[in-house]
Structure 1
């Protein structure tokens, strides 16, 4: 290999490296321009604590609980009355069957 061929090969490699370097620099410049053009969107602002909302939720929960409790008491009272009525009627039926 002669010195001229070696120099020619090195010149071609240098030209390739120079072109590759120019492309990398162009890509980096384009990315920087895109980053400058796109404004950074701020994170969603944190919601403020709304006491009114929680008071309303608490009031609804308490109201539903009270209605449920009253409904349960009404069912219990009805069951006791029905049981007492059936016991009295059974006693009366037995007395009637015995002839009293």
Structure 2
């Protein structure tokens, strides 16, 4: 019986000193150790290459696309202006016809 009692007392002592907070502290210390070791190893094995800029062909293609788009927008605005002028002329003609019609009746 005393052997079982001694084992129980040892288990109680171990449980009281090995709480969850102590376990978390040990885990945090291990994590900090790994974090200190990892950047040194990472900097030696890093094979990062800087991104290269656009080539001349890409810049020419972008320039051509902008020019074609600008011409298309300009043609669209010209068509809009011609439509507006046509509507204005139509309104003037209809107004003139309406006045002539009113004079003939009245």
Deviations 1:9-58, CA, capped at 9 Å, x for gaps: xxxxxxxxxxxxxxxxxxxxxx6xx84xx843233144154011111111
Q: Tell me how large the CA RMSD over aligned residues is.
A: 2.6
Q: Which residue of 1 aligns with 2:59?
A: 54
Q: Partners of 2:56 and 2:101 in 1: how far apart?
A: 67
Looking at structure 2, the residues matched to 92 and 44 of structure 1 have their Cα atoms a distance apart, in angstroms, of 76
Question: What is the CA–CA distance in structure 1 between the aligned matches of 2:53 and 2:88, rounded to whole Å?
Answer: 55
* SS class of match (1:42): coil
1:17 alignment partner in structure 2? none
Please point out which of 63, 67, 77 is paired with 2:82.
Answer: 77
Tell me the equivalent position of 1:96.
101
Q: Which consecutive residues of structure 1, in runs of 5 or more, have no partner in the other structure?
A: 1-30
Distance 2:71 2:78 in 1: 11
Distance 1:63 1:42 in 2: 41
After TM superposition, where is structure 1 displaced by more than 6 Å over at least 4 residues in a row? none
TM-score, normalising length: structure 1: 0.56
Aligned equivalents of 1:53, 1:92: Cα separation in 2: 59
- Unaligned runs of at least 5 residues, structure 2: 1-36
